[in-house]
A = this chain, B = another copy of it.
Amino acid sequence: MLPSFASRLSERIKELDNPSVLGLDPRKEYVPNSLLEASADQGYSEAEQVAEAFGMFNRAILDALQDCVACVKFQSACYEQYGAAGIKVLAESIDYAKTLGYLTILDAKRNDIGSSAEAYALASIGQSPVKEGLWSAMDADAVTINAYLGWDGVKPFLEQCHERGKGCFVLVRTSNPSAVDLQDLVLEDGRKVYEAMADLVAAWSRELDPEEEFSSLGAVVGATWPNEAKALRSRMPRQYFLIPGYGAQGAGAVDAVAGFAFKQGGLVNSSRGIMLAWKKQGRPETEFAEGAREEALRMRDDLREALINA
């Protein structure tokens, strides 16, 4: 029996005493020119050139943070913009991160009905029907999913969690201002839509791993809504919260850890804050990885302090 995603996660976070997640969501304008130039003149198309630069950017930051950050999240759309070349680099970056000991989350927010959800589960955290070929599947440790379609769109992902020690995070309360449009509508029983989603997640996780302290079926709960996060913890006592919104989106460390359960059970993501730290620090672009490391250490200490006082 493989160790569960949640147990692997808990162990690595404890080991590094750091619940941070490095978000690798590259854009062309975030990547130092020197990397774009290094991938030019190799017979690449322009899309391949940018994608290769993303790969170099990712590897350098992953190298720089490997001893202090447990988890890395890749936002799929950033890579999908570059078509097949982007997907190739995404798969390679996930693979590289795993060899360095990171737990990898594919932030894909996938969803579909049963048979198509199964295909997404295989593509993201499963074994693709073809075993050979480096890019045949992402094989990330976990994936984010949208459960608007209900149980039969979630079940195929949980099968991969069960069989392959993988994890999932269901969107419950997202970090964006418009989260309120649908998620805050009030049901006749007094719950809000996102609270009903939280109750579904808690119920589904009892199908997966009722005996575990933390479930491998987690939830996405934005750091920008600390009061909601605190309240959601009582509905989802066993869920890992994947918490976007720290830093660039405006939430501080105290807000980010509001939904933790006894100082555990949370993962706080920073993407632009770490990727673009060199700019804010006034470093030359050649020092982007050192800048990322400095910011990652600052964020770690910021979260540690907030958790001491939590």
Which of B116, B122, B178 interacts with A25 by CB under 8 Å? B116
Among the interface residues A28, A78, A87, which one has the most CB atoms of the partner chain B within 10 A? A87
Of the listed residues A134, A175, A177, A178, the one surrounded by the most CB atoms of chain B closer than 10 A to its CB is A178
The proximity string for A residues 148-173 relative to B, scoring 1 for CB distances below 8 Å and 0 otherwise, is 11111100000000000000000100
Do A119 and B182 form a contact, CB below 8 Å, given A83-B91, A149-B176? Answer: no
Determine if A284 is an interface residue (Cβ-Cβ < 8 Å). no
Q: Are A47 and B132 in contact (CB under 8 A)?
A: yes
Given that A28-B129, A176-B153 are contacting pairs, would A120 and B181 also be in contact in the complex, using a CB cutoff of 8 Å? no
Given contacts A129-B28, A136-B45, contact A178 B151 (CB under 8 A): yes
Return chain B residues, CB-CB under 8 Å to A38. none
Which residues of chain A have a CB within 8 Å of any CB of chain B?
A: 25, 27-28, 45-50, 75, 77-78, 80-85, 87-88, 91, 109-114, 116-117, 119-120, 122-124, 128-138, 146-153, 171, 174-183, 185-188, 190, 193, 196-197, 200, 244
Q: Are A50 and B116 in contact (CB under 8 A)?
A: no
Interface pair B84/A135, CB less than 8 Å apart: yes
Beyond known contacts A46-B133, A150-B182: 18 more, CB 8 A cutoff: A25-B116, A28-B130, A45-B133, A46-B130, A47-B130, A47-B135, A77-B110, A81-B137, A82-B128, A82-B136, A83-B91, A109-B110, A111-B111, A148-B148, A149-B182, A151-B178, A181-B200, A187-B187
CA distance A186 to B161 in the complex (A): 31
Contact B186 A171 (CB under 8 A): no
A181 to B182, CA, bound (A): 15
CA distance A131 to B49 in the complex (A): 12
Q: A172's closest neighbor in chain B, by CB?
A: B148
